Each structure stands twice: as C-alpha cells, then as structure tokens.
Amino acid sequence: MLDQLADDLASGRTTARALVGGCLDRIADPAGEGGRAFVRTDPDLALAEADHADRMRAAGAAPRFAGIPISVKDLFDVAGQVTKAGTRFLAGTAPARADAPAIARLRAAGFVIVGRTNMTELAFSGLGLNPHYGTPANPFDRATGRIPGGSSAGAAVSITDRMAFGAIGTDTGGSCRIPAALCGIVGFKPTARRVPTAGAVPLSTTLDSVGPLANCVRDVAILDVIMAGEATAARAVPPVRGLRLAVPRDVVLDGMDAAVEAGFARALDRLGAAGALVSYVSMPHFAELAGINAKGGFSAAEAYHWNRPYIDTQADLYDPRVIVRIRRGAGQSAADYLDLLAARADAIARLDAATADWDALIMPTVPTIAPAIDDLDDDAEFARVNLLMLRNPTFANFFDRCALSIPVQEAGTAPVGLMLMGRTGDDARLLGIGAALEGMLSPPAR
C-alpha cells in the first residue's frame, strides 16, 4: 500500500493533504475508535506538513513517501510533545526536545505523524488495556468489544480503521506482533540492535525492539529499513517450494482455541501443497524459559530500575496491574540478574545451533482469538490471559531473533496470526519469506 500511495502521489491521483485529512477525519469521527486509539493529535501541524509535502512534490524535490500519514506509539519522543507512555505520572513532564532517532528518520523520509497512539501503561502487558485513556476495541466483533492486543494497542487499530497507513510501535515480548495477530494485520519485530531505541521510554533495555505495523509485509519492510537507516527495502521474495520451515512441538502449540488451531492447520496444509518442507521438531529450549524468568526476568528488573524514582513518589498514579509486575524487579539481586544474562547467552547459542538448518520457525502468534474486554475484569483472569498472549512472541525477544506475524484467517472470520521467526540479523530474508507466505495465506488486503 505504501508503494501504491507513493505512486498515486507522484502521478497526482491524490495529494498529501487528502491522505492526511482523510486520516484525521476518521480519527475525529465520534462513532469510531479514534478517541481511544489516539491520545494526542495535532491536526493543524499535520495538515501544514502535508501541504509542505505537496509543494515539495510539485517542485520535484519531495522524498518518495512524503506526505503519507503514520501513527507513533505514545512512548516515543516527538519534538515539542510530552511522552507519557500510557501513564498519568509522566503527563506533567517536559516536552521532548528532539525526535527519537527512529522517528526522525521517518520524518526525514517525508512521513507525516497524524498522532500518538494509545498503549498499555509503560508497554507492560500484551492485552492493550489502559485504565487511564481507555481501550480501543478490536476491529473484529465491535458489538462485543474485544481487546486489541498490546502493548501497541492504538497502533494496530490506527491501521485497521484507516487512521494511518503505517504505525510505529515497540516489541519487548510481542507488543507489535500480538496486536497485529489479534487485529488481522502485519506486525514485525526486528533484530533489536538494528533500530535505535533511544528516545523511547524503556520497558526492558535488554529486550526492547522498535517495530512497525501495517497492512502488508512490504509496508513493514519499508518502514523497518528507514528506521534502521539502511538502504531501500529489498524486494526479493523466495519461492515457497523448497522453503524449510520448522514447527516447534514444545510449548507453542499448547492451548490453541478452535479458530487458531483451524487457521494454523489450514496454513500448514497450504504450505505443504505449495512445496514447502514443513517439519515438526523438538525444541526444548522454549520449555526452559519459564524457569529462567521465574523471578520476573529482564522486564521486571529493568522496568523497576527505570521506574523506581516514580514509584517512590507517585505509586498511586500507576495502573495496579502494571505496578505489581514492576515491583517483582525489587526482589531480584545483582546475582540473579547476572544469572539471567548468562542463561540468555547460553540459550541463544544453543538455539542458534539447533535451528541452523531451517529457513524459519513457524507457529501461531498467539493461541487464541481476542477475548472480550469485559471478560478481563477479574485480576486472575487478566493475569492468565496476559501470560498466554505473551508466551509465543516473547521467545523471539529472549533469543534475540527477528519475527513477523501475518494474518491467516479466512476473510470475514476472527483474526488469526501466523508467526515466522528468523535468525538474528536475518531480517531481510525473513521479510522475503513472509511476503511469499502472505501471498498464499493471508486474506485479501483491506
């Protein structure tokens, strides 16, 4: 879609003002989800930037994607705006002096930010609920009101409801891929070191990644390489025939509901019929992770370190479901943390060796479709479902991998995500594989 929009702008079939204005209108629609998907918009500034892009294009001086509207998760610094990260206690802090590097690169490429998207407080949940600013409803079954997934909740809904054509999120344990899977779009977690995390409120400095959400694999590839400061996104799409895809038997297939089980089985059948070499393999490395993280893991330890000054003075302003997990970090000793670092390094080396012969690992992104928001009022049920949603995606973060979620549901049914996990640094190859699979597995684009 981004390529088509760029072509339409270049040919004069549309204008940046029309694109940005259309997104702003949808955000402002009182019958829509814009008021919950976004925590801030600046329509006058966005339209002024759109007009500037149109003038630059008329003069032959505009970058290819100039004037295309995107959304930005509320934990990124944007010059002149307060970075709240879904919290109340950061609302009174000083505005950012500069854009986060990843955001600055997107702006330099001409993209127009239409607003800051809502998120789980401090990105510390995979469900997308926010008691301070509301929870945007999943595009599927709006009458019921289902979770969007998190923590990049508003990011996903901004795409599904055409309030932006690309969304920038973060992913510490699935926060781009979970909402993508539950909302029926594409979400990408790059190899963490490729995209700078500076200028973003951290959850875990060890596990945080900056990633895009969009309607197709090509779009997330475009946004990804711009944020990484790399060359133009490669277009190489390998043939499906001959791809070596491994389905782990351990952990990732547990607890699937009927919709996800059917969608995953259908995808595997189609891949096999197209000539992909799909094999079920033992992967005990995944079963080890619960024990390694028994004391809260990197997220609790590193979140507690960053939040400790605020917890000491403003604990009453936190979401109780978030602060209880942050406080687990207080119980970790320095020795515990060093044990975590050593365990991770060892686990990464062993998984790298075990998966060297496979082009990608393949599994359900999450094991169930999106539950109803009202079903999560109970704290115990919230905790259970949160762990379930995070379970599969978090492996890519812990093992320092790139991972991609693509939709594989039948058109008109509940969204189901298929996750591909590639090797560290093999992002371009994984995105090419994702594009190949998307063409035969995903429902028609919106």
As annotated, the active-site residues are: 73, 151, 175
Handedness of CA 262, 266, 268, 272 (dihedral sign): positive
Distance (Å, rounded) from C-alpha 263 to C-alpha 279?
17
Distance (Å, rounded) from C-alpha 276 to C-alpha 439?
14
- Nearest 5°: CA angle at 255, between 253 and 258? 95
Alpha carbon distances (Å) from 81 to 43, 90, 95, 118, 318: 14, 12, 5, 15, 21
Give the 3-state secondary structure of residue 39: strand
In the numeric block, the tokens 């997990």 are attached to 325
Distance (Å, rounded) from C-alpha 315 to C-alpha 415?
37
Rounded to the nearest 10°, the torsion over CA 306, 312, 317, 321 is 70
Largest CA distance in the chain: 62
Short-list 437, 274, 308, 254, CA closest to 360: 437
Distance (Å, rounded) from C-alpha 75 to C-alpha 83?
6
Alpha carbon distances (Å) from 252 to 148, 162, 171, 260, 362: 21, 32, 19, 12, 10
Distant-in-sequence contacts of 267-274, Cβ < 8 A, 24+ apart: 267/408, 267/418, 267/437, 267/441, 268/362, 270/440, 270/441, 271/240, 271/243, 271/245, 271/437, 271/440, 271/441, 274/240, 274/241, 274/440
Q: Are 369 and 138 in contact (CB under 8 A)?
A: no
Distance (Å, rounded) from C-alpha 393 to C-alpha 405?
9
DSSP string, 183-221: HTSEEEE--GGGS--TTB--S-TTT-EEEEEESSHHHHH
The token pair that represents 192 in the structure block: 């963490």
Q: Are 365 and 253 in contact (CB under 8 A)?
A: no
Which 8-state DSSP code applies to residue 72?
E
